Amino acid sequence: MEPSRFIKQNKPLWTELEELLRAIGKRRKTALRADKIDRFTELYKAVSAHLAAMQTYRPQDETTLYLNQLVARAHNVLYNANNSSLAQLRDFFAAYFPKLLQARLPFVGFAALLFVLGGLLGFFSVWRDPLNLHLVVPESIAGHIDPTMTDQPRDNLQSPLMSTTIMLNNIRVAIMAFLSGITLGVGTIYLLIYNGLLIGALAAVFMHADRSYVFWAYILPHGIIELTAIFIAGGAGLYMGYRFFVPGPYSRKRMFLESARESVQLLIGTVPLFIVAGLIEGYITPATLPLAAKYAVAGITLLLLAAYYAFGTIRKKRRDTQSPAAR
């Protein structure tokens, strides 16, 4: 199957189905003409067949993901699966978000790589010369670092307030990483490397003081979930920049707007992660628990994230093996 010819031949039908979906959305409270309903059904069947063909011959193609989303939207409208907001929310996090995350995994992985690169630069810079800490880390942070005080009791912290503040700050960082995609990914790259620099520099300071075990016990419990969410948001921003330069068979404007819509969905999917990370950072991180218990919490969060992704991947494979009409 020749992709460019296939797209050129069938694109008018896809566009027509999109326009009908928009019309149905606007007329949600009014009746739709019978001929429009009949045409909608015909288009749904035709585009479902196109999706089946693309999944067979080009399963990883951008057009396949686009058709999958289009057929899913049409399916929801056709079978009134959109009536329950709770059902929509459940389907988003149980099926759609893991599927979208898998499709954009290379960009999420590249975002993680940029963060690690920044972390290594910050670590080796401060490890060679501790005075470099003041060049890498803002003075408002560098002037208050005392490795000997890390494992002191902090029960005087107002945990609910601390949790909310931290959660909002982390969400702000993720939103900035996402919005920086408008700069064609340049701002996103800077934010990821810069945040990696901060963590790497702090890690070097605590290693100099022989306090690495304590440092990571306070970072990892919330950090695994928090950094995962930031990498996803950063990957969303990078994908926006990539689609501007590599639009594929569609126009540059269309693909940039389409990538922005998908990236917003990725960003929305990170909100529960930030909530959980904020709760851990507000309640568990400052608690006077044994350090081994904090490492155990970190391990549990890693396992849960892996289980969620694996479950979503298995669910996606099962749904992909079904015919579009069955779905």
pLDDT tens digit sequence for 222-273: 899 999 999 999 999 999 888 888 887 777 887 888 888 888 888 889 989 9
Q: Please report the pLDDT score of residue 155 as a whole number.
A: 45
Q: Are residues 76 and 117 in the same domain?
A: no
Instruction: In whole angstroms, give the CA distance from residue 208 to residue 130.
Output: 8
Q: Are residues 162 and 249 in the same domain?
A: yes
Q: How confident is the model at residue 287 (pLDDT cuts 50, 70, 90)?
A: confident
Of 234, 27, 222, 12, nearest in space to 112 by CA:
234
Q: Are residues 130 and 275 in the same domain?
A: yes
Instruction: In whole angstroms, give the CA distance from residue 327 to residue 321.
Output: 10
Most confident of 117-121, 186-190, 214-218, 256-260: 117-121
| Tokens found for residue 309 | 């992704």
Q: Are residues 178 and 275 in the same domain?
A: yes
| Tokens found for residue 248 | 């594929």
CA 213 to chain centre: 29
Q: Are residues 167 and 217 in the same domain?
A: yes
Q: Are residues 236 and 204 in the same domain?
A: yes
Domain count of the fold of the chain = 2
Using DSSP, state whether 126 is helix, strand or coil.
helix
> pLDDT tens, 26-44?
665 444 565 677 788 888 8
> pLDDT tens, 65-120?
888 888 888 887 776 644 456 766 777 888 788 888 988 999 999 999 999 999 99
Q: Are residues 57 and 202 in the same domain?
A: no
Q: Are residues 68 and 18 in the same domain?
A: yes
Q: Please report the pLDDT score of residue 323 as a whole number.
A: 45
pLDDT average, residue stretch 165-186: 75
The angle formed by the CA atoms of residues 117, 123 and 128, to the nearest 5 degrees, is: 130
Residue that the structure tokens 């579009």 belong to: 324
DSSP string, 259-323: HHHHHHHHHHHTHHHHHHHHHIIIIITTS---HHHHHHHHHHHHHHHHHHHHHHHHHHHHHHHS-
In a domain, 21, yes or no: yes
Given a cut of 50, whether residue 313 has pLDDT beyond it is yes
| Tokens found for residue 152 | 């002191």
Angle of helix 159-179 relative to helix 252-269, nearest 10 degrees, comes to 170
In a domain, 135, yes or no: yes
Domain boundary among 52, 83, 114: 83
In a domain, 294, yes or no: yes
Q: Please report the pLDDT score of residue 35 as a whole number.
A: 63
Looking at every residue in the chain, the average pLDDT score rounds to: 81
Instruction: In whole angstroms, give the CA distance from residue 50 to residue 63.
Output: 10
In a domain, 91, yes or no: no
Domain boundary among 28, 52, 83: 83
Q: Are residues 222 and 288 in the same domain?
A: yes
Q: Are residues 121 and 214 in the same domain?
A: yes
Q: Please report the pLDDT score of residue 325 as a whole number.
A: 43
Domain boundary among 83, 118, 142: 83
Q: 174 is in which domain, residue-wise?
A: 105-316
Using DSSP, state whether 258 is helix, strand or coil.
helix
Q: Are residues 144 and 72 in the same domain?
A: no
In a domain, 325, yes or no: no
Of 315, 261, 307, 309, nearest in space to 101 by CA:
309
Q: What is the pTM of this model?
A: 0.73
Q: Are residues 146 and 16 in the same domain?
A: no
DSSP string, 164-226: HHHHHHHHHHHHHHHHGGGGTTHHHHHHHHHHHHHHHHHHHHHHHTT-HHHHHHHHHHHHHHH
In a domain, 7, yes or no: yes
Assign residue 278 a region: left if phi > 0, alpha if psi is -120 to 50, beta otherwise?
alpha
Using DSSP, state whether 40 is helix, strand or coil.
helix
Q: How far is CA 21 from CA 70, 254, 265, in A?
A: 9, 18, 19
Q: Please report the pLDDT score of residue 192 as a whole number.
A: 92
In a domain, 297, yes or no: yes
| Tokens found for residue 48 | 């479902």
Q: Please report the pLDDT score of residue 38 as a whole number.
A: 74
Instruction: In whole angstroms, give the CA distance from residue 154 to residue 158.
Output: 9
In a domain, 195, yes or no: yes
Half-sphere exposure of 315 (CA within 13 A, CB side): 17
